[in-house]
Amino acid sequence: MESIDVLPPEKIAFIAYNIGVYESVQKFGGLITSGRITNGTDVSKIAELLLESSAFYDAEMISSLINTMLHYTIRS
């Protein structure tokens, strides 16, 4: 029977954090480049726009991140 590799909680949290950063940067970038966020945009309007916007998740990027962390965990 093959063993299943499990990441420690702190590494899972690190992956989740990085996915959240990726999503935030993508949302802000899209809103700024589309002109929906400008210098004078109210903070509450920015929050509303962020809630309404969607993010694209790059499955290859996420799987590469997880596989790299699994590989590092196995080697350490």
Number of domains in the chain: 1
Does residue 36 lie in a domain region?
yes
Q: What is the pTM of this model?
A: 0.65
Q: How many CB atoms lie within 10 A of CB 9?
A: 8
**Which carries the bigger pLDDT value, residue 51 or residue 4?**
51
What digits encode the pLDDT tens for the residues 51-62? 999 888 788 878
Average pLDDT of span 15-24 = 86
Does residue 1 lie in a domain region?
no
Does residue 27 lie in a domain region?
yes
Q: How far apart are CA 65 and CA 76, in angstroms?
A: 17
Nearest in space to 58 (alpha carbons), one of 22, 12, 11, 4: 22
* Percent share of the chain, pLDDT over 90: 38
Does residue 66 lie in a domain region?
yes
Contact 66, 5 (CB under 8 A): no
Does residue 61 lie in a domain region?
yes
Average pLDDT of span 43-68 = 87
Domain holding 33, by residue range, is 9-14+22-75
